[in-house]
Structure 1
Amino acid sequence: MPMRSVGGDGQGRGVAPQREFPYGIDDPGWAARHGFGIPVERGSREQGVSASKEQQHLSDALFGIGRRELSTRTATGLVVQANSDGCLAEAQRVLYGDLGRWFRTEVTVNNLGAAAHRRVTQDPVYRAVLARWSRCVAPVQQADSPGELRGAWQRRARDLAPREATALQQRFAVTEARCVRRTDLARTGARLEKRHAAELRTEYADVIAEHRLLRDHGLRYAVRHGL
């Protein structure tokens, strides 16, 4: 999946600027300041449990708690299911008229970007560049992909003090970024993604058109009723 670097600056000093690096961080300066953009957690366990319960209540109200009657398969092969009894489902039923059609087309269209990304990561051209990137980062940490490099940091950070975990994150992130630049990994991924995204838009043209019709229906309904 595409990687998004968000959250704290790794030192508990606020929020790092939100950036998306779908094929690895390509900005060494950003990496030096923010690492992967993953905050080093300091919250207590009790606070986490309390927040989790509140989030669950909100989730139940929004998404429902009944049997998951809605189901569709994305272009990546992932099966997505949802309840039809929550506040969100009721609002969509009112706006778009046919909840089943809206769910199917919305999920499909919203996941085309992930499908394009997946095709890129399976593309032989990208795989060849990724292998060069892996060899580049190997002196610092063995990793077959930027995602695996993050996983290696997270495993090692569990046993480190926050300051040490932050320093290690920044070191790994800078290594990732320098090797992305050196191998042209991010540019290769972006170039291939344009081609794969265009192919997917052609393959799913009917679904995209149906989704657009339902969306326009919802907009007209909202305007008529002052929503």
Structure 2
Amino acid sequence: MLDLKRIKAVTLDLDDTLWPVWPAIERAEKALENWLSTHAPMTAALFSNAVVRNEIRAHVVRTRPELKHDMGAIRREAIRLALYRSRENPLLAEQGYEIFFAERNRVTLFEDALQALEFLSARFPVVALSNGNADIERIGLQRYFSANVSAQAFGVGKPDPRIFHAAAGAVDTVPENVLHIGDDAMLDVLGGLNAGMQTVWLNRAASEWKHAEKPHITVGSLTELCDFIAA
């Protein structure tokens, strides 16, 4: 059971916790496709083949292991490699990636997200803790967060306990006094538990819990969590 008296800070996952990520990714990929069709049509044709697109990404991950936690760099280098293979200008990769990234950050918040952010940030320092590359400033949510710790900046991703410890340190507290909230059973809940934090499993889809270790509390919405804290 969640011990509210221990909570001195909150760490919060972003993708699929505050907004559904795949609609944004799909829109971003479409925006990139449209841009490439105009500026690099041979690359657009290459990228239209999902098998080839996945092979290019796998090649970047395999040959650039230092980028494994940097989703943005992996995508940028995949665009660059596709341009090179298509004999088009590799320098277009930066502009193409910016087209993608701008759309990736045009997310649609879950209905409960904004109110929950207002509630939590009024009571605790809140740290964004993500393996993804969403930009909370571009999205317009920076005012709710005291710090932002991402895998691409830190070099290590969830469920590694080091990134959880870094997030606690970012607001000058210890892991046992932090409540981590996230949707992913392995990355968020088991990762947070292993790091010594209390954890909330945000289970919007009413999925079955399949692990021996359990979250301190499971909720179907952020509103449910806020109501529990406020009670």
TM-score relative to the length of structure 1? 0.29
Larger radius of gyration: 1
TM-score relative to the length of structure 2? 0.29
- Structure having the higher helix fraction is 1
